[in-house]
């Protein structure tokens, strides 16, 4: 249904604060901004399950510690059926108070699995649980009960959706093959850089060759993002007589990784204008974006590097080869 001005009223449903530029690498924030510009009025439904989650937090933590200690296995409580039902209950109450044309739910299958509504639901995702299981560290060594619950919640959420938007064909194929999503409602739409005003081509093309090889690594997880390999790259270049620098942004490497030409910036917050500008400068001043990631569904940072004309050097894993086209905007190497 369209309003008289041709714009829709959109319920934007997320698991965490969608107005925080750090949430899901900034995808929540930028998606909402794009919807406002091009589609209609956006009402935020962020953190719909906070009350229920806080209520059960003590029990969750105790159970998690006991399982880790005695069973050496894990239960993903964020994907517990009780949690999913609490999320849906909170969202249902809000939906009953206002009239909406569509629900857009990025990375929120769990939030929509038990929704009771006739409003069309658009799911936006970069992967599926079937792809994450035993691929991402946090989805390894899970209890069978947890695996069954997550699969069931995922399948239920996929069936509820009117449209499923995935950032890669890799993820879209899993929705169809692993969860029997109807192909006609599955779409592949690549995500973009999460910067408010990325530079124009004229600015990027004015960039001059630097006196040393400046490498930029941006990631919050040193191990999963291949931080040690990035460090070894710096050493290898030095051994070959190539003057190089490595900037690590977003995490703090273990103490043994120290080098006079490695600069560590633990964190830059895009919500802070000054820090936002600092991050932009890192992209503008570097020669290569180096992220030898071990596990990745997509990688918004690759989009951001490309927005600044920065070629990425990365690895062939997950959905990465669809973001970094080998030989075009970077190089995709074997793990």
226-252: pLDDT as tens digits:
999 999 999 999 999 999 999 999 999
Give the separation between CA 71 and CA 141, rounded to whole angstroms: 10
Fold observed for domain 8-188: Rossmann fold (3.40.50)
Query: In this predicted structure, what is the pLDDT of residue 210?
Result: 80
Give the separation between CA 86 and CA 20, rounded to whole angstroms: 23
Confidence of residue 67 (pLDDT cuts 50, 70, 90): low
Neighbour count for residue 90 (Cβ, 10 Å): 18
89-99: pLDDT as tens digits:
999 999 999 99
Locate 277 and state its tokens.
């500008």
Over 50: is that where the pLDDT of 55 sits? no
Fold observed for domain 201-333: Rossmann fold (3.40.50)
Locate 135 and state its tokens.
């691929």
Within the chain, which residue ranges are assigned CATH 3.40.50.2000?
8-188, 201-333
Over 60: is that where the pLDDT of 60 sits? no
Share of the chain above pLDDT 70, in %: 90
Strand order across the beta sheet in which 186-188 lies: 40-45, 8-13, 102-106, 121-125, 163-166, 186-188
Neighbour count for residue 221 (Cβ, 10 Å): 16
Backbone angles phi, psi at 256, to 5 degrees: -75, -15
Query: In this predicted structure, what is the pLDDT of residue 58?
Result: 52
141-195: pLDDT as tens digits:
999 999 999 999 999 999 999 999 999 999 999 999 999 999 999 999 999 999 8
265-299: pLDDT as tens digits:
999 999 999 999 999 999 999 999 999 999 999 99
pTM confidence score: 0.90
Contacts of range 268-275, beta carbons closer than 8 Å, 24 or more positions apart: 269/21, 269/22, 270/21, 270/22, 270/26, 270/194, 271/20, 271/21, 271/22
């Amino acid at each position: 249904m369209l309003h008289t001005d041709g714009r829709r009223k959109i319920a934007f449903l997320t698991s965490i604060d969608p107005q925080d530029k750090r949430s899901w690498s900034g995808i929540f924030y930028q998606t909402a901004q794009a919807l406002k510009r091009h589609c209609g009025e956006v009402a935020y439904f962020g953190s719909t399950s906070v009350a229920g989650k806080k209520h059960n937090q003590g029990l969750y933590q105790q159970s998690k510690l006991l399982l880790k200690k005695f069973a050496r296995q894990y239960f993903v409580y964020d994907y517990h059926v009780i949690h999913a039902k609490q999320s849906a209950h909170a969202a249902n109450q809000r939906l009953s108070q206002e009239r909406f044309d569509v629900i857009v739910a990025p990375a929120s299958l769990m939030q929509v699995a038990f929704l009771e509504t006739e409003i069309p639901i658009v799911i936006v995702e970069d992967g599926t649980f079937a792809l994450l299981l035993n691929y991402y560290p946090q989805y390894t060594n899970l209890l069978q009960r947890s695996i069954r619950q997550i699969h069931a919640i995922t399948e239920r959420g996929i069936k509820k959706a009117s449209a499923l938007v995935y950032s890669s064909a890799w993820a879209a194929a899993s929705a169809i093959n692993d969860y029997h999503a109807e192909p006609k409602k599955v779409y592949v739409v690549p995500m973009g850089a999460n910067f408010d005003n990325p530079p124009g081509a004229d600015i990027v093309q004015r960039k001059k060759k630097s006196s040393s090889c400046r490498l930029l690594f941006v990631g919050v997880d040193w191990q999963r993002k291949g931080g040690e390999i990035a460090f070894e790259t710096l050493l290898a270049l030095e051994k070959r007589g190539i003057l190089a620098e490595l900037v690590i942004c977003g995490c703090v490497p273990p103490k043994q990784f120290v080098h006079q030409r490695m600069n560590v910036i633990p964190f830059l917050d895009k919500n802070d204008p000054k820090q936002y500008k600092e991050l932009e400068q890192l992209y503008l001043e570097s020669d290569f974006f180096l992220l030898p990631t071990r596990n990745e569904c997509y990688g918004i940072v690759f989009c951001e590097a490309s927005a600044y004309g920065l070629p990425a050097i990365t690895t062939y894993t997950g959905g990465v080869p669809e973001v970094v086209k080998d030989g075009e905007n970077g190089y995709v190497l074997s793990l």
